[in-house]
Amino acid sequence: MKICVYGAGAIGGHLAARLVATGGHEVSVVARGAHLSAIRDKGIWLRVGGAELGGKPSAATDDAATLPAQDVVLVALKGPSLPAIARPLARLLGETGFAVFLMNGVPWWWNYGAGKDAPLPLLDPDGALWRMVGGQRALGGVISSSNQVVAPGVVQNTGGDRWLIGEPGGETTTRAQAVVDLFRAIGLNGALSSGIRGDIWRKLFVNISSNPFAALTRLPSRAAADVPGLDDICIQAIHEALAVAAAMGHDLRGEIDPEKIVKPAGGRAPGRSSMLQDVDAGRALEIDGIVGQVREFGREKGVPTPILDTILPLLRGLDTSMRLAREN
């Protein structure tokens, strides 16, 4: 197969390194900056379990237009970057290709097949993804794997290995199974989801209680646990998201215990959340997929979300200050 990893950062770099190391496919990578230069020069490498694996992909570029049409595109960019790639992504998919969106939070394709045939303005402002890519060419992905780019061309895995893939409608298809089989073949714990929207909510409950607060406080997970009162706010954020999910038809309140998410029995894992990594690097924050759209769903359904109402403008203010710093 022709496989393109579009965005070879922490998650994308992990996948690209495994795909290249395993072989058997024509693997292309879309990346940028020093990371791209290192991939071209020395390849993409993954450090995992005391080993290092990887190699040089068939092609590495910052211009997707230089690549031929692909059988599958693994999109590992974060939400804010997606609308800008609608046209090049659509061209990469050609007539028969499809894309797997590996991202946190509510995805841009959420309304596809869900009874509301329209894009989500917060996530796809001009509807470019909806028009050019289309929900019919999208698969969802929910990833539980902690990774960080520790040097140009090098990704470090610090734990987690669960890669759920599913059709927006929940049906079992040849293409979804093919992606699961591909992930298993490269050494990952891939699994087929029969309800990807529910799985997205389950991951979102974790993200909404960690990422925003890590970004605002600049604290890694273990240090945040020592701040009096902070855990209570994190727990309330999950309760709000649970109520919104229930109003959207995914009532998981009997399954999810916010206390156990925020205060796990074995203590919090070490490391820095993905949004905190973005703050450290001065990158745009994936605010709307994790917080903004959940708050918007709440407003549509009449569900109060006072914690989300408070942290959303704070996150947007932080994102604006970082953008101004980049511009200067």
Q: Which residues have a catalytic role annotated?
A: 203
Hey, which residues does 47 pair with through a beta bridge?
52, 156
What is d(CA 36, CA 59) in angstroms, rounded to the nearest whole number?
A: 11
**DSSP E strand stretches across the chain:** 2-6, 26-30, 44-48, 51-55, 59-61, 72-75, 98-102, 138-151, 154-166, 190-192
Q: How far are the Cα atoms of 93, 107, 127 from residue 133, in angstroms, in the given order?
A: 8, 13, 10
For residue 200 the two structure tokens come to 């997205």
**Cα torsion for 21, 22, 26, 31, to the nearest 10°?**
-40
Contact yes or no for 45/52 (Cβ under 8 A):
yes
Helix, strand, coil share of the chain (percent; to 5): 45, 20, 35
132 three-state secondary structure = helix
What is d(CA 271, CA 222) in angstroms, rounded to the nearest whole number?
A: 8
